Amino acid sequence: MLYREAGQFKSTYAEDQQIFPIRQDRIAIAALLVAAFVVVPLIADQYWLSAILTPFLIFSLAALGLNILTGYAGQLSLGTAAFMAVGAFMAYNFVLRMPWLGVIPSFILAGLCAAAVGIVFGLPSLRIKGFYLAVATLACQFFVLWAIQRIGWFTNNSPSGVIAAQKVVILGFAFDTPVRKYLLTLGIVAAMALLAKNLMRSETGRAFMAVRDMDVAAEVIGIRMMHTKLLAFAISSFYCGVAGALYAYTYLGTVEPEAFTLDLSFRILFMVIIGGVGSILGSFMGAAFITLLPIFLSVLFGAISHATGMEPSHAVVSNLELIIFGGMIIFFLIVEPHGLARLWQIAKEKLRLWPFPH
């Protein structure tokens, strides 16, 4: 009844090509943005802002980056955490060594460095495919971490390998409280998500999808394979790099190379798969799911032990959490292999007909 495009006529090409062609979608997105930028900072407490919402946004950005590569361009990658590490440590070095540059340009340069690394490790994708490529990207994961740990320049010769992110000051305004950090993260993530959404609707995005669906056919119709695949790696790594920089600057504060292990790569891949492969919205949904699930589980266990009076040991709880986490992932893959974004799509189609089924 409420969600229906009947009566909304498009009389120009521009109207036909807009991002959200249905008026209700535009209203919903605007409401969401207002809620995220205005309402959330007013009502959320420090814990929610700094421990849940900020990492959720950062992981969304990383998942978005991986989704561009895996979901849109069809290249499986297990090196996401390495690209994030490059972003985090290069941002640190740019801010440290070129303070006159400013934080945002440093983040962008760090993203570009990650993109360069992405291109180098994306080169094998021109020859190899599928799981062979996935394992090959593991080379990137291990090599980059090793290099950051071994080469003192990256960590400014910090003996423990831990770096402390500098204060984020943009045009004299310090982003030092959880609310401000949240807003900075939100601003960057929103802008980059918009960019990604538009990019994937453009010629570039369509080329990615053609390569994903069948690369030989894509080549036959004149899509430059090398250019497209490497561009996908570059854009994806750029997003992951910026996410890594944010991870260091607005979430963790102090970072060690061990924060970017293969586990993180897998988590982000989970977000993409559970959220929906090849969907911008799905990246956000997947990130929300994977970030919230462990918190939800620990709250649940706390409630259970409180209610029953039993006090299970920490090891038991963490193992149970591991089992349930893995089980939920398998369950979700079985129930909805196309991810949460697909569920949302189905819900929208149902809404369109509601309450009259015909």
Partner 1 sequence: MNVAFFFEVLIGGLLSGVMYSLVALGFVLIYKASGVFNFAQGAMVFFAALTFVSLLERGVNFWVALAITLAAMVVLGIAIEKVVLRPLVNQPPITLFMATIGLTFVLEGLSQLMWGSQPHGLDLGIKDVPMEGLAQATGIFVSQFDLFAAGIAGVLVASLALFFQYTRVGRALRAVADDHQAAQAVGIPLKHIWAIVWAVAGFVALVAGLMWGARNGVQYSLTFIALKALPVLILGGFESVPGAILGGLIIGAAEKLAEVYLGPMVGGGIESWFAYVIALLFLLVRPQGLFGEKIIDRV
Give residues in contact with partner 1 (CB under 8 A): 70, 76, 124, 127-132, 134-136, 138-139, 142-143, 145-146, 149-150, 214-217, 220, 262, 266, 269-270, 273, 277, 315-316, 319-323, 325-330, 333-334, 337
Compute φ and ψ for 223, nearest 5 degrees: -85, 130
| Cα–Cα distance, 241 to 255 (Å, whole number) | 14
Contacts of 169 (CB under 8 A, 6+ apart): 103, 175
| Cα–Cα distance, 185 to 187 (Å, whole number) | 5
Nearer to partner 1, 146 or 354 (CB): 146
CA nearest 2: which of 358, 356, 303, 351? Answer: 351
Nearer to partner 1, 36 or 287 (CB): 287
Nearer to partner 1, 40 or 116 (CB): 116
For residue 110, the minimal CB distance to partner 1 (Å) is 22
| Cα–Cα distance, 213 to 210 (Å, whole number) | 5
For residue 138, the minimal CB distance to partner 1 (Å) is 6
Burial of 35 per CB tally in 10 Å (0-12, 13-18, 19+): exposed
Compute φ and ψ for 170, nearest 5 degrees: -120, 120
* Residue 287, both tokens: 């990130």
Query: How far lies 290's CA from each of 41, 176, 271, 333, in Å?
Result: 22, 27, 6, 13
Nearer to partner 1, 105 or 337 (CB): 337
Nearer to partner 1, 111 or 275 (CB): 275
For residue 207, the minimal CB distance to partner 1 (Å) is 17
For residue 133, the minimal CB distance to partner 1 (Å) is 9
For residue 78, the minimal CB distance to partner 1 (Å) is 10
Nearer to partner 1, 170 or 323 (CB): 323
For residue 136, the minimal CB distance to partner 1 (Å) is 5
